[in-house]
């Protein structure tokens, strides 16, 4: 039984919901909520450093996929994300929405309250339905480890560079990942 693809609108609405949850947490837990976009580094520095880190992270993501493209973990990841509607520019829009929504909620709202490690565990748990972690085998552990480590890295980028940098890194990792998934699907067909 083939499921209907998860539409772009569902992805965008999910990320909007994350922003709506994050907004009051940020507003009531920070003395200067709007300074979030200018600290610890200024916006231009965040964008420049974020773009460099994004290039490194996206390249590492692509290389890791190339090295593990025939693994069970890669096959399961492709299968999980193949449910998304990846036509046209959708990988770009999905990646932008996810980067903004998830970084606002997990990094900007929750991380200052709970810390990098706990937020990364929560981030992993929210990705369980996406990755369909059912078995505790090597492939599942590899997928879970990559999500957790990626979240920890994003947490430290947020902490030491800033929110805009974390969003850029997240966005580019997702863009590369979704384009890899789209290419894998097209290659199979």
pLDDT tens-digit map of 20-78: 999 999 999 998 888 888 889 999 999 999 999 999 998 988 888 888 888 877 787 88
Residue 29 domain-assigned?
no
**pLDDT higher than 60, residue 171:** yes
Percent of the chain with pLDDT over 70: 92
pLDDT tens, position by position, 102-139: 999 999 999 999 999 999 999 998 887 666 666 667 76
Q: Is the pLDDT of residue 1 over 50?
A: no
Domain encompassing residue 99? 8-23+44-188
Average pLDDT (151-156) is 97
List the structure tokens of 107: 């990094």
pTM: 0.89
Distances in Å between the Cα of 122 and the Cα atoms of 106, 114, 181 are 8, 10, 25
Is 2 among the domain residues? no
In a domain, 30, yes or no: no
For residue 1, tell me if it sits in a domain.
Answer: no
Question: Is 91 inside a domain boundary?
Answer: yes
Count how many domains the chain has: 1
Write down the mean pLDDT value for the chain. 88
Kindly state whether residue 146 falls inside one of the protein's structural domains: yes
Measure the CA angle with vertex 168, ends 73 and 164; round to 5°. Answer: 135
In a domain, 80, yes or no: yes
């Amino acid at each position: 039984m083939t499921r209907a693809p998860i539409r772009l609108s569902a992805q965008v609405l999910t990320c909007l919901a994350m922003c709506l949850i994050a907004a009051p947490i940020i507003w009531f837990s920070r003395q200067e909520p709007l300074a979030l976009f200018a600290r610890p580094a200024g916006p231009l520095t965040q964008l420049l450093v974020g773009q460099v880190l994004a290039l490194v992270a996206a390249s590492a993501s692509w290389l890791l996929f190339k090295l593990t493209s025939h693994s069970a973990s890669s096959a399961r990841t492709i299968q999980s994300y193949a449910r998304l509607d990846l036509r046209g520019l959708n990988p770009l829009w999905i990646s932008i929405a996810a980067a903004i929504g998830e970084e606002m909620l997990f990094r900007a709202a929750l991380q200052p309250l709970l810390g990098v490690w706990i937020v990364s565990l929560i981030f992993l748990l929210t990705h369980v339905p996406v990755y369909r972690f059912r078995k505790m085998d090597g492939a599942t552990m590899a997928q879970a480890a990559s999500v957790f480590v990626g979240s920890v890295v994003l947490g430290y980028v947020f902490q030491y560079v800033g929110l805009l940098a974390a969003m850029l890194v997240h966005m580019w990792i997702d863009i590369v990942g979704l384009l890899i998934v789209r290419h894998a699907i097209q290659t199979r067909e």
